[in-house]
Structure 1
Amino acid sequence: MADTPAPLRIALAGLGTVGAGVIRLIEANAALIARRAGRPLQVTVVGARDRTKDRGVDLSRYAWEDDMVIMGERADVDVVVEMVGGSDGSALACARTTIEAGKALVTANKAMIAHHGLELAAKAEEAKVAMKFEAAVAGGIPVIKGLREGAAANEIERVYGILNGTCNYILSTMEDTGRDFADVLAEAQSKGYAEADPAFDVEGIDAAHKLSILAAIAFGARLDFAAVDAAGITRLRAADIAQADALGYVIRLIGMAETMESPAGKVLFQRVQPHLVAFDHPLAHVDGATNAVVAEGNFSGRLLFQGAGAGDGPTASAVVADLIDIARGEIGAPFSVPVGELEAMSAADAGSRTGRAYVRLMAADRPGVLAEITAAFRDAGVSIESLIQKGRSDDQPVMVALVTHEGPESAVAEAVRLLSGSDSLAEPPLVLHILAD
């Protein structure tokens, strides 16, 4: 009779909603997971900042470790799942200690991977241990595995998508209700969709973390979070949503990365920004807190990954999928190729890109203002496809919205520069690019 394979012994560092979800999933699907992994998954040690908090799961069966940083040094642990959060501090210390102790690491921490992923991956390669982070990008959607394995034979030409569920919930609710950003944000906070301090989400930083990770895997590039040009959704008004709808678009916060050729060689473009997305594009139909990622391969064509981007169940599913891979003995390079082979790409100049743009201005309602605006675009070499002035007021700024014909982004930026400081404008122009199909 064959010996029963030894279980994979797991330590959970952090017991928030995802940590508790991992326990529930491993318990609920234990037999199925053991068959697929080739051996059981067994939680042996847990730890969190607050030992007394009720997390809705029975923790009495597991050893408790007050110092989560040293979990990987325990003799009864094969892999540590880090869910503490934050780019530095105890999360990073836990990850370093785990790998240095020769143990595998699974993490859902996109900020830590975006800032320190190369260092940790190099340590993991040297120690010949697995380092996996499927749950760090797009929750339960297996987009990292899809890029690293399913699309491995393809040269990825572009990867982009909706990477933050909070922003997508706010934007789609603004669409459905006609309400303004601040009102919908307050509702999202009351329902738990947005944090008390939502800056990382609504300013585009969370999406930028995820985009930098996807770009590294998709293009074999060295992680370069600092090069991501990130803008959020805080300046959007209900009137922008309505105007986009009238033009045949919805507005979505899109993270986009692609490689471009330059005189100096291949460069990497990375940007998070609200975009106008045509009604017939797949991303236009992604509503609520859902995430979606599009990857375009030179042989596979367009691949769409869509699903729940957060939550205890979907994120726990991604964590446990990584644990199953580790139980099977699958290690592999964390970023598809060894760290030493990742290409250091300079940041692309966005101004060299071409496309169409939506520009919204809040302008004084007086004679000559439209002429001033159109003159700035003319002098910058921008061709205007359409221009609409909304409302009329003697003492309040009115909205002027225009859409450009296709042209270089640098020209639109120059038009905005020419208008900078004009006493005809109540605030800086808002520029949203139109997503090319």
Structure 2
Amino acid sequence: MTRVRKYHLALIGVAALIVVVSLVRVLTGFDDLTSSGTVGAALILAVPIALAGLGGLWAERAGVVNIGLEGMMVLGTWFAGWAGYQWGPWAALAAGLIGGALGGLLHAIATVTFGVDHIISGVAINLLGPGITRFLSEVLYKEGTPAAEAGAGITSSPAVSGDTPTISLPLLSSGPDLLGKLESTHWFLVADVAGVLRGLTHQMNLLVVLAVLLLPLTFFVLWHTAFGLRLRSAGENPWAAESLGVNVYRIKYVAVVLSGAFAGLGGVFLVFVSDKYVEGQTQGRGFIGLAAMIFGNWRPGGLAAGSALFGYANGLQLRSAQTVTTFFLFGAVLLLAYLVLQVHRLTAPDRPAELAAPGVRQYVVMAGAVVGAAVLFWLWLVIDELPNDFVFITPHVLTLLVLLIASQRLRMPKADGVSYRRGEQH
């Protein structure tokens, strides 16, 4: 019953969020808030973040901190670009996975076998990834090589040969564009739902579908299989797992190598979007994926929400810089909704025992919500357009704020980052 209730609450939360966004769209007149173009851009921007975060989830659930996701993603982009221009997109997919997995293997050797501090090893991989790829580019893409004649430079590969596969989901995006017509009506809620559905289903890159499927697959494997139980036990108490016959070293190796492969897959997606490898194209997405995983409390569902949040904020500021000011109104509405929920919880006859006698902290939080809502509403009224510098950093600031709020309820695996040695319990 508990699992069903949580599932229902998640659906209700998503529905309420769409209603709030639709209300903000009507009040501001900014139709890009829920347009299919914005949703499609958000999806493209969220996928590499989600894949990197998925890599962090697998490693840290096994007790290995992996801040080297950025370097592993860089390796995935380079190998995908190198193989893709020669043999096509499927070779790019395989090479990117292998490139990222090699970075994961290096991290596993350093941390699991030799006991190197996980943070130091991750920083080293983040430095090695761009260095190795630059060296390989200078060797294989220098002037006079076949790659250079095909359009490569020191900082980019030739274009991937062949078209990357795209699909549209049946019924929703095939045949007459009914969703597009509904979106163009700009009706309250109807147009918003149509825009979201059209953006999520029309002409999707095949890797988008794969990334979306990997999230529930990860949940099933880690929480509903014997292998997943062993992997999570290695991240909670590896010595207890060892006493039950689990090969903790092997579990950690598998988890970290898969972690690198997921980050490499995120790099492949970036290559598919830009049609080639370009130096620096990851732009810190590995770190943002790690932040999304922490925001999601080391669970796939929360990771998906965190990735979607950053992707949406980034996609919105790319589509329309003026629309970013609506975040002020959106934040004010959310704070007011939070305030209403808190008042309802405090006055409900069946309220939890800890709320029977509200303390100073509850009242301070509620007062802060009132002040925050008032300030955000005032900013929305007086600011017509943010300077470009502020628009550019909006997604990053939003991520930091969300992480700050979410940090109150986080629970990382107990043995995450702990150096494990067989038979030497700490």
- TM-score by length of structure 1 reads 0.27
Write 1 or 2 for the structure with the bigger share of strand: 1
The higher-RCO structure (CA 8 Å, 6+ apart) is 2
